[in-house]
Structure 1
Amino acid sequence: MRETDHVARHLMIQGLVQGVAFRASARTEAERLGLCGWVRNRSDGSVEAVVAGSAGAVEHFVRWAHHGPSHARVERVAVNPAARPEQTGFLMLPTL
């Protein structure tokens, strides 16, 4: 993959997104798409994620994040550019 094809995005996801397997589902979706990054719950009830990979795969993940797993009720997703994560793979981090 060329560097110009690679993007990284920071997502802040709000709504009913904790207690509905959002993080585990996000990891499954990211791994399916070949993305690296991480996801974690935040103490304010939101979910935060950084995803990196091909532009098309990242865009697909962002679209997925707007609805998440079946029991989630996503109200808002803020998407911003991010630095590429240093690790490979996709991690579930502890709550911040």
Structure 2
Amino acid sequence: MGDVISELGGIRSRVSGASADAQAGWTGEAAAEAARAAAEMDGVLRRLTGSLENLRELVQMSAAGFTAAEQQQAADVRAAAAGLNDGIASR
């Protein structure tokens, strides 16, 4: 999960840089709309990163308390999610 959080941080930086470069020559309403969209994207990525960090902390705190049955249930959920993701990706 740490890798995903780091990757999102990199994406956020690249989007911010690309947005600033693109907006450099814009004026008026186009510049304002581009700035609004960039700020919204930044906010979404910031919230997503924060949520993943919170989830990571919760998982780490609860990891010691998992029973064998809970670990099996978690594996079953991951397997089901992987199957769903494979089906979505193949569309």
Q: Larger strand proportion, structure 1 or 2?
A: 1
Higher relative contact order (CA 8 A, sep 6+): 1
Output the TM-score relative to the length of structure 2: 0.29
Q: Which of 1 and 2 has greater Rg?
A: 2
The structure in which a higher percent of residues are helix is 2
